[in-house]
Amino acid sequence: MKRCCSSSRPSPERTGSDPRLGRAKDRLDTLDWWPRPVSIGRVRLLAAPWFFRLPGLRRFDGYALHGTILLRRSDAPEDLVTHELCHVWQLQHRPVRMPLSYLRTGYAANGYERQARAAVERTR
């Protein structure tokens, strides 16, 4: 089942948000991978280059927390925002299991990582 929003008015949950966040949500809304569409009402995009200077985080350009997406650069591409918003979507459905999965499987082989990469590819 595909979900689609075809309203000419902006969604109330998009008011005041970064336009890339709304476009990433529109992309993810075409996928039916989770029971509910991603909610962006309380999600913030923040440029935090200092965060990516921390040991273990230098190889990343984005990082998703439950309600915040941290970006290395303020001009991060929409594909990266979509990838990280997919992680927020995963966290909205599996708030404990998703982050703990990285301890068990690591980064490269993680199923949630594969799903976020697939979300970007399938919604281009």
Cβ–Cβ < 8 Å for 122, 31: yes
Position 33 in a domain: yes
pTM value > 0.75: yes
- Domain interval for residue 112: 16-122
Position 36 in a domain: yes
List, run by run, the mean pLDDT of 10-residue segments along the chain (124 residues).
42 62 98 97 96 96 96 97 98 97 93 98 97
Position 9 in a domain: no
- pLDDT score at 17: 77
Q: What is the 8-class DSSP label of residue 65?
A: -
Domain count, the chain: 1
Q: Where do we find the tokens 């708030």?
A: 95
Half-sphere exposure at residue 33, Cβ-oriented, CA atoms within 13 angstroms: 23
Q: How far is CA 70 from the centre of its chain?
A: 10
- pLDDT score at 8: 39
Position 67 in a domain: yes
Position 90 in a domain: yes
Position 6 in a domain: no
Residue 106 tokens, joined: 């690591």
Angle between helices 111-122 and 78-93 (to 10 degrees): 130
Position 21 in a domain: yes
The beta-carbon contacts of 18-25 under 8 Å, at least 24 apart in sequence, are 18/45, 18/81, 20/45, 20/76, 20/78, 20/81, 21/45, 21/69, 21/81, 21/85, 23/78, 23/81, 23/82, 24/78, 24/81, 24/82, 24/85, 25/85
For 46, list phi and psi in degrees, rounded to 5. -130, 130
Position 110 in a domain: yes
